[in-house]
Structures are given as C-alpha cells and as structure tokens.
Structure 1
C-alpha cells in the first residue's frame, strides 16, 4: 500500500522539532562521547592493516571504524545501508546476482573485489558471488564494531582484497553481561524483526555469549519503489508498451524483499576461556532480484515475480592465542564452513576447511615481527542443502565439462614487520605469498611509512600490491580446457599519501590522495567468459572532517575518483569498465565520480538524541558515455549495455536522506527512523541504478522503521 508521503514528511519534521524543543529545556552536561580523541587514537589494535599490534593513530592503512553506537543511531536496515552511510566513497549498485559494492572506483558485476570477514575469518563465496553472506539481513544486534579498510590489503588479508576489506567484530560475553530483547517494524519498505542476546561471565573467568535474530522482510512493492527504464519497449507476450522514464505497467518483485519470501535467520554462539575462543555462526538470507530489459521484453512479467537468490552459511571457528613468554605469542585458528547458494537455475554448495598458525615476536619496544602460514581446502560440486532438491549446478560451461565433485587448495606464507625507528617514525613492511591449485604463486608486498610530527599530526605513505585470482569455477574451467595450472590472476599496485590532523581534543580531519594501477580480470562479453581485460589507472581524493562537541557531532565525508587512463589488452574485448577506449568520455562506466556524506547527531536531553544522514552522489558521466557509445555505435543492439534514448535522465544526481530519533533510559530504548525522505518531495532523488545496465533503475521507497528494546 502506498504511503501518504506528505503526512510522513510532516510527521518526521514535527517529531524532530518537538524533541529539539524538548531538548532545549533539558540540557545536560554529560559528554556525548566517553573518550577524548587522544585516548581513542592511542588504543592498541591488532589485525587492522597489520598482523602486528600497534596504536590506532599509527595504523598502516586508511580505516573507517563503525561502532555499536553508530549502528544503533543510524537505524540501518542492512549491512549495505550501514556501510553506505558511514564509509567514505562506499557505493552500492543493483545487480541480478548480488548488488555490487565498491570503494575508490573499484567495483565489479561479481562482489569479488573486496573481502568480508567475521572476527578475522573470511566469509566470501569463491565462485560467482563473492560477498553475499552477512548481507540482506536487518538483524545487526550481534555486531560490536566494523572496521573497513579502504584500499588494497592482500598482504594481510589474502587474495581478493583489491578495493577493501570489511571486518565485522561481534559482541562477546566479556563486554555484554545480561540479556536484551529487541523488535523492529518497518512500513513503506515493510519488515518485521526480533532479536535476543545474552552474555554471561562464568565463575572460572570465561564468558558465554548467545544471539539469535529473525526477520520477515516483505520489502517495498512496485507502487512505492518504481522500476524504470531509459528506452521505450513493448512486451511481446502481453503487448504492453513501456515508455521510458515511467513506471512499468506490470508487477515486478518487491524491492529488497526476502528470498522466496521466507524468514531470514542469524544465530551466533561464542565461548571464551583464557586463551581459547570458540564460536559458531549460522546465517540464512537473500533478496528478491530484478531482471534485465531483455527479460521484460520477451517473457511474461507475471512469471518473473518469484525471482530471487539466497544463501545459508554455517561456520565453526576455534582460536587459541597463548602468550608463550614475555616476548612471544602464538596465534592459531582452525575453522570449518559450509555455504549453500541458490538463485535462478543454480544451486550449489561450498565446503571449506582452513587453518592458520602465526607467531608474534616482540623482543623490545622498537621491533615487532609476525609471521606464519595459512591453508585452506575448498570442496565443490556437492549437493545443495537447501532448495531445490536437485543436482548441484554452478554454470553451464562448467557443467558441460565436469559434473562431479572437485576441490581446490591454497597455501599461504605471510610475514609482517614493524620498526619504531624513532619517536616520530614508524616503518611497516611485509609480504604475503599465496599458491592456489590452479594458479602460480601470487605475491603481495607492502611498505608503509608513518611520520608523527606531534600528537596532532600523522602522515602515512602507503605502497601496496594486492592480488586476486579468478573465481574457482573459472579456474577449474581453464584447467579442464587447457590442462594448465597458471590461471588468470590480477594485480593492483597502489600508492597513497594521507595526513590526519587533530584540530583539538575533539575535532579531526583526514586528507588522502591515492593512485591505483590495476591489471584487471573480469567479464568479457565478446567471448562470454572471464578474461583478462586490460590496465586501468585511477586517481582519487578522500576528505574527512569530524567535529565533536559536548552535545553533538558532525561528520563530513567526500570522495572523488577520476579515470587517468584505460587500455584494453585486446581491441575487441567486451567490457563495462569505461567507454573511453571507444572515444566516449573519460570516466568510469559504473561509478559516481563524487560522493558526499553528512552525518549529524545531537543529544536533546538525558534520554533523547536525534540522528540524520545524507548521502549525495553525482558524476555519472562515465555511465552516460557508455550509453552514448552503445546507442550511436551499436544502435542499442540487444547485446549492448546500457541502452537509452539519449536523454540522460537515468544519470542525474542521487541523494538518500535519513532522519531518526532515539530514546534510551535505564533498560528501555526505542527509536523511529525515516528513510529516503527526499523522495517525499521528488522520488527521482532516490534512484539506484543497475550495474552494467545503468539505464535501468529502481526508485527507493520513502519508509519508516520503529525499534523497541529492553535490557534485562
């Protein structure tokens, strides 16, 4: 049912102004943030851009940390929405096989350019979907913090960390003692969820944490989240004509609706005892998917309403980290994982075993060395544990070659060295080498130099090489067709200079300049397979400004990415990277060149605070240039993407505005958030384009969500 948008806007504004007025009469001297910046920046961290332990202010990477408080205040309804709110330059596009996420201009039709970790454990799918788990779940109550490394990180995290790394850290029983229950409900983009968690400190000094969440996500129906195209077309089955830039006249899938309209689940258990941590995790999620212009032209749309994709993943991990002596610490991990995928006519399963053995040696305060080995074993071709009950199927090409079970292995050696050269200079250097069943050795060296002229200024010079192998199914196909084990890999050489400045005890800024030289592998439409594409060079700028006052905070995040050059290995390669090689434009084809994000939080009283965020994206000239090339040179042929009438309406600016109120007193908390509120004025602001087919888009629905929680 369509929301009354005018009433919704008035309700949000009225609620906000009412509480602001209330807060003005109930000021408090309590600080909104518990720790000053100097203390926060001095906290010791490990596993953030380095294997060695260091201070946050000296980390050898550009990292965004999202805290538990940030998650709650934002009212985010998914991991994607959360990351897009807080991470500079982070973009999400739409796609039939998983919405692509990107950083610093690096994005692909498969989410294989970034890694997603839970407590340091890799959760990626290894064939065609990459980052799919942990997404499409509204339940975020088990997350303590998220560290997002912006830029390459293969030297620490392994192959695939080209654009960045997302590391989710869960709550544990040592930091959460008690029980909490939470319910949420949303309208406009309809959903219902319930979460429960409990933490206990054991008598023997250990801790136990348990979490369970479930949601029923209906999503936004077509009336609230229009699907539009940039070209007139007629459906050949029902004869309906669809004009460009108008809502399609037939039903389509609910936007962000759950896979097969089933409940989605998340379960997490963790036991800590001395140096041992054991945890088990199960997630089941998924989302409805839209299809292409060709599908809506040639197929009865009524038969496409059930299109979706889903996953379920179960993981068990043991970490043992004893301190062997004053200078030496052991770090071991053993883990097993089952990931089950279903979408379209595909359903398949991946089983993984992995182990890790590291030693951390710190002989004195100036030197810190970490090193060790990792091993992983992947099994493919096993029968799916989910629906449908049929033979495993990854792709047509692989099935025609090999219908049995198969496996891959990867052995990795890694080392990281930290040298405090003086009170002002710190050097990080390291290398990781990975050997896969179907590739040669892949090497990821890095060098980082940190200069701290005083406590208020830190300068970072980062030189990285990151690597990524083609997906395991593509490597398997290559081996079966050629008998060779030197499958396709890609590398990115990256240079970054960053300056971080603390203007006072509560204000800070960051300026980062980066250059990427990227030999990339991707989908080649001329041969309809994964292939080496060419060399892409990009330049970028990131600006961050964070102001913190006693009762409020303001964050400004700006990112600009420019294509410097792009060269194809083969002139006839079919690609979606840029039309500049065809003489059209000089920008990336699936990227907004400029992103601006604003986040403001204000404490209104001892119990009330308000939150608002704005995400503004502009600069889709590269997408429009690719559309012009296909329209002019290829006459909008069926195989040409994107396909437009040349008006460029699909490539106008986009903006997503969220406004929220949070109440918390003693054990009770509740909140009300409005999303995509600019759409109440003009829904074109809420456009989200499809990757590759940027002529197609959905207009995200203005929506509301209510949350209530109680701590026992």
Structure 2
C-alpha cells in the first residue's frame, strides 16, 4: 500500500442465554465420544484424493479435481498442533504462508501478498464470509486460542474472487466447524493451561439427537494475561545504551507491554449451535469475542490531574465481537435439478482502545482511538444446479448483499468513528468523541466526514460454474462472478480450468483466472463520493491475473506428491486517506511442492515454497520523493526525514515482508494401539532478500551521498546521521534478523480408557522447542534517516497442557 498522509447487541445476548439454557438441558443427560464420521486423518492417500472439497467452487469437487490449489487441515491435525491459535495452525501447514505481527493483530500472507491489514484474503466460517470490509479485513477467529470446535480448515492458496467476490486476491480461509449432521452421541469437557502466557481455558461440546433433529453445541472461555516482560526489538538511535529492547533501556520509565494479553481483561469467548433436520434444512449460529495486545511499546507513563503516576495500563488494544446465523435449505427438484437457498446475517463490532486520557476509565469513549463501529451484513442467495448424469454439470444463481456500517452494539449513532484520512463520525455537534476537544487523540475538526446514523451499501451478484467432461477423460470448468456494487464499478471475475486424469494415480490441472479487490468500505465510500477522477476510471479495483499449473500423483500407496506452479500479474491499488491511487504493477512466480509419506503408524508431510519477484514497477506519477510502497524496494524513490534528508533509491529485487524460500515439515507417529501420539513440526524460512534490501538501500544512500553541497552545520548533521545509522545496523546484524529462521513445535498426546464408555486424553504442547522465534512486524517502509521498520518480538519457548474427558 502507499503510506502517506443495537438491536443486534440485544439479539447476541439473547442467543448467549439460549446457549446457556442448552448446556443445562443436555449437559447432564449424555456425554462425549468421537465423531461417527470416519476420521479423514486415517484415510489412505487414494481415498484422500477423492474426498470432496467444499471451498473454492460453487459445486463440490474431489480433491484432485479442484480448480483451486487447496490445503486441507484435518481435525486431528488441529488437535495435535502446538500452535496457539488458527493463524499458527495455518502457518504450520500452508505452503509458503507468512505470519507476521502488527500493532492491530496477526497478518497473513499467501503467495507473496501481505499487507498491514488482512484485506487481500477472505475469511469464511462454514462458507459464510465473516471478513470485516471496513477495517482489518480477515481478523475474526484468527486469534482464538480454543480450536476444539473445528472439523477442518480449507485454504485456497491464490485468488478466489470467482466464487467469493472482492478481496480474495491472496487466498481464502474457510473454517469448517463440527456439525450436527456429522457428529452424534458426543460430549467433551476440556481444560487447558499455558503458563508462559498466563493463559487458561475451559470448553464444553456436545451432540444430541432431539427427535428427528440433530444438534451440536460448543462453548469455551479462554483468558490470558499475555507474555509478561516480552522482548520487543526496535532500533533507536537516541538510546543511551546498546540495549534495543523496548521497555528495557535505562531511560525507559515503564516496562514493555504484555504480548497477547486480553483487552480490558475480557476473556475470549466462543459459542456455537448447529441444528439439522436430517433431510434438507440446517441452521447454525455462532458468537465469538476476543481482543489481544500486539504492541511494540512500553506501558503508558502518564500522570493524572493530581500529578499521580498512573498504574501500568497497556495502550493500543482492540476488542472484536462477532455474531453470525445462517439457515440453509437444499432440495432436489427432480433427478437432474437441485436448488440451494442460503441466507446469513453477521454482525461485527470493532473498537480500538488507546489509554491516553487517564482522567477517564480505560473503556471510556475518550480512550477510544480512530475506530469504533459495527458492521452488519445480510447475504441471501439462490443457487440452481443441474447434472445430466453423463458429462455436464451446471451451477448458477444470484446473491444479494447489504452491508451496513453503524455505531458499536447497543450505542446510538453518536458513537460511530471510522478513520480514513477523514474522520467518519455522526456529526460535529453530537459525536461523543468531540465533546472534550482538549483530550488526546480526538478527531480533527478540520477533517470530518459526517455520516449521520451510518452507511449502507447494496451489491447484486450473478455467479455461474459449468463443468463439461470430454471424451478424452479430461474436463473443462468455466466459472465467473459478476458483482454490481453500489459504490464502485462492476466487478467481473472469470476462471477457466482444464483438468485431466492421465491415470487413476496422476492428474494435471491448468487454471487461468482474474480476481478483483475493492477498497475497504471506508475508503471506497470516500472515493465514490469525492474522488472519481478520470485517471482512475476502470481502475478503481485492484486486479490479479493468475495462471496456475498443478500436478498430483499417487506415486505409491505410501507416497503422494503434489506440485503447483503459478504466475501472478497484479495491478495494485491503494487509498492514501485522500485519494485512490494506482500503485504499480507486480509480477511474480512461484512453485509449491508437497509430499506425504506413510510408514506403518508414522506419517511425514513436507512442503516447500519458492517465490521470485519478476518485476515491481511503481507508478511513475507517484515517484515524487514523497511516496513509498511496502511491496518491494526494487522500485523506489523517497526522501527520508531528518536534519539532512537522504534519497532512498531502488535496490534489490525481492519482496518486502517475505522469505523467498520456506519449508514445512510435520512428523506424526502413533504407538500403543494409537493411544500415544507424538508429533513434531518444523518451519524453516530463509532468504528474506526483500526485507533486508531496505538496510542495504540506506547504506548505499549514505555511501553515495554528495556532501559537497552541504554547509558546515549540515555536514556535521549528516555525519551524525550516518554514524547513528551504521551503529543501528550493527545491532540488527548482531541479531541475525531477516536471514534464516528454523523453529520447532512438538506435542505428546495420550489416551486412557475410563469406565462407562469414556476416555481421558492428556496433551502436552511445546511451542518453539529449541528457543525463541523472531516474529517479524509487517513493514510499510521506513521514513526516518535510519530504518525504523525492522521490528520483531521474540516469542519464547512455551509449554501448554490440555486435559479432556470424552464420553461415548
């Protein structure tokens, strides 16, 4: 990106009460067992190739015929993972996926695309889009530490707009929960403890037959004080010592804020209910809340109006809540035609707290900064499917989407605040955030956009998919999605795929497609209202054209090989808070290799990803010396701040925030009639070529600077800047950062049979088995006379324990 200048709340509470009643009704009447469905973890490789995939297409495809590159993470793999949340589980399994941190939460990158907001990928739950289209993009669920309700996670590696619409540029993450249809006669109580993060949790799940209806319920509470006294590394030339860890320098008044501590001491909560009539109707509802600190700063050091130093209170935290309900009806109209009707309503609340005004409580509106809003989204769709039973399958339908941006749950319109250069508030006279203009971090009076009670946007969509089997044994799949948004140009995303089985063991897939991304609603609204310039006509969406070739081969009963090669050409677009801009053309290619091996009770999964930047051509109109991009330093022209600005010019040929090579390895072994399961995973990232390019770019700028034009005072200032830069570089070099990283996780799980068809399962998890891991911060490019953006937190070795009692 370019770096520059109420009813629902009550409904959510009601649903929570219903869940509580449900627990009391079913909790004492039956207890948990494993799913009746066959565990996919135990299927043979040949059977796995023919498992149906529900993500990435309008119709189901068996895994080897999916037009999209899909990574599927099964329930047992999730249960055995030592990763603390969904984002970490993805990092373990998805080839080449990068997981970075940020002050607002974890950021996920797939196939070279990552941003300071997760707006280049979509997040789904059971196929329902829960991405926040206003701010932060894919964030719901990703920081949840409790994963016991998840049946599997399907990840589209690469574009997916043809099925899911705007935003699926980098990929699609579909969290598929356990369902009433697939789980029966089951209950489980579970407790967990992670001492390093002062975290503990409790969960309960149960499934019961209620007449002709099947039901499944899950509830959990997890709380964490976070990692105390964390090691946040950040360069700081004015530091009076050689220590570069935030809050640990001699001049720091306060210590570092906790890492991953709960916002306002409110725990993570997850509630899920699924009902199925066993024929053609299903409805599920879900509520989650979370919020954790992800900051690289010290505790606040403020004094109140009486001059008393305020007790340690973290700043810059977010609170997110989400409620979604989705009914679905399927009907076979006749032996060839079918109809699926689906609706979903999801409501999200996002609030960012920044405790700067100590005369008010931490959760007071005066300690909210920039973002306090809810997003409500109603989606209704009708999909017809046709199968002639021989060679032709067709799915076609329509979708209606209405998205609203309003005040936080239970608040009137005066509590809405969304920032995008301008401050979107109700109005200047009544906004709660403008009542104390002398308070810190209040909206600027000269940069207001009044939105009254909020904003509402409509989108109409037509979507289709056609599969035709050729006589040669190959098949052609054509699909498209046509969106008609109220506040942007029409969006057309097509895909054409050719899929051929050379034998029962070998399949080749070739796909070409285009995906599009609209700006976040806060930016798209302002652009539509004020800035529809001719220069951006037809280009107000980010686009990605992709070509992918994939080959899958069952080499033997114990060896499965999958190879994906892709080429991406992307026109990147960003909004500076003032105008929509075409940022540049990005071209890259990559290859993903994955093998799965089995020897008796041992399975090995290994994958490797290589990505190479072919070209990053920044828009020449932006190369004025005032604009910078966070994609690559290979095309750059920017004057830094400082007493003597230096010119950062193009350097290197890599992607920022990315390692060119990435390898994942997972070994799972079962012993003692599968009672004991041992798992070891390794992640290896190396060749952060594009990230370290910034350091070399600074070095060259200083080495080639023409000092002959400087007067005596400026020459002294320049030499001071250079000395400070080289000193800071030395500290970074000593950390061996942005070079190579190898990290190991491990788990040990043992199951005891108890009386009355029950069992106890104890699991021990170790994260970062052989030492701390550098979790890098997403860099948007440095603007000072030294590189201030190479920042990371050192995540330590962490041991966790989970004990579950399961009943059949």
Shorter-chain TM-score tier: 0.7 to 0.9
Are 1:71 and 2:78 an aligned pair? yes
Contact 2:567–2:589 (8 Å) recurs in 1? yes
Identify which range, 303-312 or 165-174, moves more after superposition.
303-312
Q: CA deviation at 1:427?
A: 1.1
Contact 2:247–2:256 (8 Å) recurs in 1? no
Identify which range, 383-392 or 445-454, moves more after superposition.
383-392
1:401 to 443, 446, 449: 449
Structure 2 counterpart of 1:669: 761
Instruction: Find the aligned partners of 2:597 and 2:779 in 1 and give their Cα distance.
Output: 35
Q: 1:388 to 1:308 in 2, by over 3 A?
A: farther
What is the 5 A alignment of 1:610-629? 610-629=678-697
Instruction: Find the aligned partners of 2:103 and 2:539 in 1 and give their Cα distance.
Output: 27
Structure 2 counterpart of 1:290: 295
1:32-58 Cα offsets, whole Å, 9 max, x none, are: 95321212222344x333212332221
Structure 2 counterpart of 1:12: none
Are 1:230 and 2:235 an aligned pair? yes
Contact 2:232–2:296 (8 Å) recurs in 1? no
Instruction: Find the aligned partners of 1:302 and 1:494 in 2 and give their Cα distance.
Output: 53
Instruction: Find the aligned partners of 2:578 and 2:691 in 1 and give their Cα distance.
Output: 21
- Partner-residue secondary structure (3-state), 2:615: strand
Instruction: Find the aligned partners of 2:456 and 2:112 in 1 and give their Cα distance.
Output: 33
Q: CA deviation at 1:630?
A: 4.7
1:495 to 539, 542, 547: 547
Contact 1:231–1:643 (8 Å) recurs in 2? no
Contact 2:341–2:381 (8 Å) recurs in 1? yes
Contact 2:501–2:507 (8 Å) recurs in 1? yes
Structure 2 counterpart of 1:355: 380
Q: 1:292 to 1:633 in 2, by over 3 A?
A: farther
When the two structures are superposed, what TM-score results if normalisation uses the length of structure 1? Answer: 0.88
Q: 1:403 to 1:662 in 2, by over 3 A?
A: same
Contact 2:257–2:297 (8 Å) recurs in 1? no
RMSD across aligned positions (CA): 2.8
What is the 5 A alignment of 1:262-277? 262-273=266-277, 274-277=279-282
Contact 2:779–2:790 (8 Å) recurs in 1? no
Contact 2:498–2:510 (8 Å) recurs in 1? yes
Instruction: Find the aligned partners of 1:281 and 1:195 in 2 and give their Cα distance.
Output: 15
Structure 2 counterpart of 1:595: 662
> Could you say which structure has the larger radius of gyration?
2
Q: CA deviation at 1:503?
A: 1.3
- Partner-residue secondary structure (3-state), 2:550: strand
Instruction: Find the aligned partners of 1:246 and 1:171 in 2 and give their Cα distance.
Output: 42
Q: 1:388 to 1:506 in 2, by over 3 A?
A: farther
When the two structures are superposed, what TM-score results if normalisation uses the length of structure 2? Answer: 0.78
- Partner-residue secondary structure (3-state), 2:95: coil
What is the 5 A alignment of 1:305-324? 305-324=314-333
Structure 1 counterpart of 2:389: 364
Contact 2:531–2:580 (8 Å) recurs in 1? no
1:558 to 595, 604, 608: 608
Is there any run of 5+ residues in structure 1 with no aligned partner, and where?
1-30, 235-239
Structure 2 counterpart of 1:334: 343
Instruction: Find the aligned partners of 1:310 and 1:517 in 2 and give their Cα distance.
Output: 36
What is the 5 A alignment of 1:203-222? 203-204=211-212, 206-222=213-229
Q: CA deviation at 1:592?
A: 1.3
Structure 1 counterpart of 2:779: 691
1:325-368 Cα offsets, whole Å, 9 max, x none, are: 11111111111111000114121111111111110111222110
2:512 to 460, 463, 469: 463
- Partner-residue secondary structure (3-state), 2:189: strand
Q: CA deviation at 1:132?
A: 1.1
What is the 5 A alignment of 1:645-684? 645=729, 647-648=732-733, 649-666=736-753, 667-679=759-771, 683=772
Instruction: Find the aligned partners of 1:302 and 1:252 in 2 and give their Cα distance.
Output: 14
Instruction: Find the aligned partners of 1:202 and 1:456 in 2 and give their Cα distance.
Output: 43
Q: 1:243 to 1:588 in 2, by over 3 A?
A: same
Q: CA deviation at 1:532?
A: 2.3
Instruction: Find the aligned partners of 2:681 and 2:617 in 1 and give their Cα distance.
Output: 38
Q: CA deviation at 1:386?
A: 7.2
1:438 to 487, 508, 529: 487
What is the 5 A alignment of 1:498-509? 498-509=550-561
Instruction: Find the aligned partners of 1:386 and 1:549 in 2 and give their Cα distance.
Output: 57
Contact 1:410–1:435 (8 Å) recurs in 2? yes
Instruction: Find the aligned partners of 2:631 and 2:727 in 1 and give their Cα distance.
Output: 16
1:52-84 Cα offsets, whole Å, 9 max, x none, are: 233222111111111111011113320111100
Q: CA deviation at 1:625?
A: 1.1
Instruction: Find the aligned partners of 2:738 and 2:412 in 1 and give their Cα distance.
Output: 39
What is the 5 A alignment of 1:46-65? 47-65=54-72
Q: 1:407 to 1:241 in 2, by over 3 A?
A: farther
Instruction: Find the aligned partners of 1:465 and 1:43 in 2 and give their Cα distance.
Output: 27
Identify which range, 302-311 or 468-477, moves more after superposition.
302-311
Structure 2 counterpart of 1:28: none
Q: 1:33 to 1:431 in 2, by over 3 A?
A: closer
Instruction: Find the aligned partners of 1:386 and 1:597 in 2 and give their Cα distance.
Output: 45
Instruction: Find the aligned partners of 2:145 and 2:269 in 1 and give their Cα distance.
Output: 10
Contact 2:115–2:778 (8 Å) recurs in 1? no
Instruction: Find the aligned partners of 2:790 and 2:665 in 1 and give their Cα distance.
Output: 28
- Partner-residue secondary structure (3-state), 1:475: helix
Q: 1:110 to 1:276 in 2, by over 3 A?
A: same
Instruction: Find the aligned partners of 1:302 and 1:530 in 2 and give their Cα distance.
Output: 43
Instruction: Find the aligned partners of 2:727 and 2:126 in 1 and give their Cα distance.
Output: 43
Q: CA deviation at 1:479?
A: 2.4
1:379 to 394, 404, 412: 404
Are 1:181 and 2:189 an aligned pair? yes
Instruction: Find the aligned partners of 2:71 and 2:288 in 1 and give their Cα distance.
Output: 25
Contact 1:623–1:694 (8 Å) recurs in 2? no
Are 1:584 and 2:593 an aligned pair? no
Instruction: Find the aligned partners of 1:96 and 1:472 in 2 and give their Cα distance.
Output: 21
Contact 2:159–2:170 (8 Å) recurs in 1? yes
What is the 5 A alignment of 1:422-571? 422=471, 424-482=473-531, 488-522=540-574, 524=576, 531-569=581-619, 570=621, 571=623
Q: CA deviation at 1:310?
A: 1.8
- Partner-residue secondary structure (3-state), 1:677: coil
- Partner-residue secondary structure (3-state), 1:401: strand
Are 1:38 and 2:46 an aligned pair? yes
Instruction: Find the aligned partners of 1:389 and 1:644 in 2 and give their Cα distance.
Output: 47
Instruction: Find the aligned partners of 1:285 and 1:90 in 2 and give their Cα distance.
Output: 24
Q: CA deviation at 1:431?
A: 0.9
Instruction: Find the aligned partners of 1:393 and 1:406 in 2 and give their Cα distance.
Output: 12
- Partner-residue secondary structure (3-state), 2:417: coil
Q: CA deviation at 1:264?
A: 0.9
Q: 1:302 to 1:695 in 2, by over 3 A?
A: farther
1:264-303 Cα offsets, whole Å, 9 max, x none, are: 100001111121111111000111021479x99xxx9987
Identify which range, 471-480 or 386-395, moves more after superposition.
386-395
